[in-house]
Structure formats: C-alpha cells, structure tokens
Amino acid sequence: VMRGREILNNPSLNRGTAFTRDERDRLGLHGLLPPRVETQEEQVARIIENCDRKPSDIERYIFLMALQDRNEALFYRTIIDHLRKIMPLIYTPTVGQAGQEYGHIFRSGPRGLYVTAEDRGSIGRVLDNWAERDVRVIVVTDGERILGLGDLGANGMVIPLGKLALYSAAGGIDPAKTLPILIDVGTNNESLRGDPMYLGLRQPRLTGDEYLEFIDEFVEAVEERFPNSLIQFEDFSTPNAHKLLARYRDRHCSFNDDIQGTAAVGLAGLLAALRITGGDLVDQCVVFLGAGSANTGIGDLFIRALVEEGLDETEAHRRVWLIDSGGLVVRSRADLASHKRPFAHEHEPLTDLVEVVEAIAPTALIGATGHPGTFNRPALESMARINRRPIVFALSNPTSKSECTAEQAYEWTDGRVVFASGSPFDMLEYGGKTVSPGQANNVYVFPGMGLGVLVSKARRVTREMFLDAARAAAGTVTQERLDEGSIFPPLAEIRKVSAAIAVAVCRRAAEQGLARAELPADLEGHVVASMYRPEYTPVD
C-alpha cells in the first residue's frame, strides 16, 4: 500500500491539497501538505492564475505538462473547465513550438513509449515495458510531417501526448487506457541531427521496404499485446499515410486522423455552412488548394456524401478539384502521385489560383498547404463575385501557416464569407457586428470516434462511421452559433459533441455487424455514463 511521498509522486493518485484530513492521517500525508484542505475547483483556479502569470505560451505549455506529471485528475479537470483557453496551449498552435523545441524543454517522466529503428526484431519487448495492459487507444506518429512544420523526428512525441490529452478531456476516455507512441526511424531534418539537445536517432529515415517491414512488426506487436486497442496514425508523410491506411484499415481497428479525421471535420463544416448559405450539398463544387492527406481525405469523404445523396460516382467526382504545387490536377499531367490520380479531370492545365477559381466557379475553397498567404486577395474577391456567400476554409496549422487570416477573409469578401480555420483566430468586428470565426479542428471528431469505437467494441473503423460523425458534429451547431459566423459548436460543449458522435458511431458499427458489445436501448445514456470524469474519489 502506497503511503506518504509515494502517493504524492504518483500522478494518478495524487490530489495535492484536496486530500482530506482523514486521508492525510491514514496515508501518512500529515505535515507533507499545507494544512488547508481545498476543493478541486479551488485548485483549478490556482492553476489558471499561475498559468496566466507565465510570460509566454511555451512556458504555459511546460507548466501544464508538469501538472500532468504531478496530478492527472487536476490536469484534466483544468482542461475540461477551460478548454477554449487551454486547448491552444496543449495542442495547436503552441504544440508546434513545443515540437520544435522538445529536446530543450524535455522533462523526465514516462508519458509515452519510444519505439526506434534500433528495436527491430524486439518491438514486442519494448511494448511490454508499458505497465498498463488494457490499452484501448494508441496514438502513434513517426514525426515526419508534424502539423505544417515538416520532419521533427523524435520531437513529434508532442503530438500523441496532445491528442491523447484531448481524447480524455474531450472524449471522456480514461487516460489509463491510452498510450502515446513515437516511432523513431531517424530524421532527414539536418538541423535537428545537428542539435546537441536532440533526443532522437541521429540518422536518415528508414524508407521503402525496410520502413514498411518495421511498421509491420510494430502493428503485429500491438495486435498481440493490446488486441482491443484502436490505433490512430498521426502526422505521417502523405505517401506513407495513404499507404499505411490501405495496409491496415481492414486488418486492425485503426484510422488516420490526418486523412479521415480531417475529412469528417471538413465535411461537418461544409454541412453546417450550408445552413448559412441555404445551398444543397449536391449543388456544391469544391476547389482544394493543397493535395496532401487533409484535402484528399476531405475530397474523398465529400464524394461519398454526394453519392449517398443520390449523385452517381462520376458526377460526384466532378465536384472536387485539387491544386498542388504543379497547378490544377488534370489528367494530362504525368507527375501525379497515386493518391491524386482519382481526382484528376480532363481540363487545360492552370497554375494560378485566381484562374482556377474563375474557370471552375467553386462554391467552396479549402486550403491545407502549410504555406501562409496562399489565399490572396484576388482569389477571395473572385470567390465573392461568384458566390453570394462564399465558403472559405484555411485549414493549415499552426496559425502562422494559415492560408489567410480571418480578418482578410472577411475584408476581401465584403463580410459575406463563411469562414473556418485550422487554428484559432480571435473574435473580430466587421460591419458593426462581432464575428466568431469557426475553428475546423479535428478535436470535434477524433475523441468521439474513439469513444464510439470503445463503447461498441468495434472491430474496424469504416468510412461510413466518419460520414455519420460529420453529420453528428454538424447537427450540434446551434442557430445562435451560425448567426455569430461560427460553423462549429463552442469548445465548452465538446464533450456533448463527442457523445453525439459516439452514439452515431455505435449505431453504424452495429448496423455493419462490427460491434462486439451489446448496445442498450438507452444508448445515449450509456455513452455518457461511460465517459471518464476527472473527479477525486476516496483513497482506501
């Protein structure tokens, strides 16, 4: 039985000043804490006050990660109670800076597993070192494409850590059943390899068959040791992301958040935006600037939604156009990667965004390029000429990479834009009205998806589940939010959104014969009751 400092040093048991006097006497804590007994709410207030004292967001990130290492329940209670304030600190945009500086700000503490190229042939033994055996959600990255920042190698661990914090806070998944993993197969970022504080392997990345064999060994080890787990692949390079999704989606319960999670969030945004524009889904045409995992994922799910609405496959494909670094994705181009070819059309080559907008006349323009300022004034003015209410999503993260700012989008469209961004923008005044720009963040989907998979014990994650997740997320947006210019619900209601998505996912899993759990008649109540709550419980 743990006593005294052992308990205070255990983040899953420690509750600091909230230990009662009786608990302090029984557990050998008397005198180790200040005499006053506080409520968790009082502790949260102190955390927020101390967070506000920090001079920068990266210092706030470090402070909050230290809290997680010290008092897990208090960490999650703080996130839940102040999600709008805390999420930009533990995830985008601050997590981008944390990733760039990870070796310099690293704090010891077993918050995740590192599986490296040096572990080939013994990955299973590495996984055995994780004490918790009933792991249900794994977020894994190889650090090659972190946000819009590129190859951060082992520094990419910040992404699984941040995602799983949101799984627990926003999706109600017990943190004890989550596992962050960083696959370190080297890095091609020479500046990292030359950084004396870099903590990863200082070698070029594994590629080709060698890389795939390594990932195969990793997935096989996960299947053996954590057979009930959901694997979320995160921030892999676009070619590897598509390759791994195709390789494992029908073999293990898994999905790629950059492709499928972003797709569902993007589709949810479009569905909610149509409640403002008054348009029908089958009448929409979307131009995507950027042809990576995010935009091809949204495009594919949008096509599936159109087909479900009654359009034939060919006509649905005509509603999706991609622009990559070589210009409009057309069939005459010989340089197209395999994941772009399904979106290629018969059309003259065009390289200028304005020319594309004028030629295609899209109702929506979606950017995921990782390059700021690519939505220029002429392009958005053209969108406003073509559409009474143009839909513009600037999805690149962090905020510094956004294709345009919220202020630019409103100014260049005479305030008629329906706008969303990947990272948050502050509320702004335009035309005498306060506008709250929507944030198309994957947090609106992946926690609820994970919760639905866990509750239903789904054997696989399907495209139809993401369609239903998008519809459920869009359905939670109130008219009041739409009137404010936001096409996503407030972050304060994220757990309600996650519960709604989980219910939809459970129903689809049962319909597709993939649910291993017997689902009760009161599915909504069952889902809510299953959600983790970071409350202090009596210590025996």
Tell me 150's DSSP state: B
**Token pair 């996960």: residue:** 222
CA atoms within 13 A on the CB side of 432: 0
CA distances from 210 to 92, 185, 207, 215, 247 (A): 32, 10, 6, 9, 15
CA–CA dist 329, 489 (Å, integer): 34
Of 91, 248, 532, 536, the catalytic one is 91
b/e 462-482 (16+ beta carbons within 10 angstroms → b):
beebbbbbbbbbbebbeeebb
CA–CA dist 337, 326 (Å, integer): 12
Of 61, 76, 102, 163, the catalytic one is 163
Rg of the chain, C-alpha, whole Å: 23
177: annotated active-site residue: no
Cβ atoms 515, 458 nearer than 8 A: yes
Peptide bond into 93 cis (omega under 30): yes
Beta bridge partners of 345: 330
Task: State which amino acid sits at residue 515.
Answer: A
Cβ atoms 299, 366 nearer than 8 A: no
496: annotated active-site residue: no
Is the torsion defined by CA of 343, 348, 351, 355 positive or negative?
negative
Peptide bond into 447 cis (omega under 30): no
The residues, any chain, with a CB within 8 Å of residue 375's CB and separated by 6 or more, are 289, 353, 365, 367, 392, 394, 403, 404, 408, 409
- Reference 236, options 213, 258, 203, 208; nearest CA is 258
CA–CA dist 366, 359 (Å, integer): 16
User: 10 Å Cβ neighbour count for 119?
Assistant: 19
Residue 138, Cβ density class (10 Å: 0-12 exposed, 13-18 middle, ≥19 buried): buried
Cβ atoms 88, 57 nearer than 8 A: yes
- Which spans in 342-391 are helix H? 353-360, 377-386
- Reference 505, options 539, 538, 474, 460; nearest CA is 460
Q: What distance lies between CA 61 and its chain's CA centroid?
A: 18
Catalytic residues, by residue number, are 91, 163
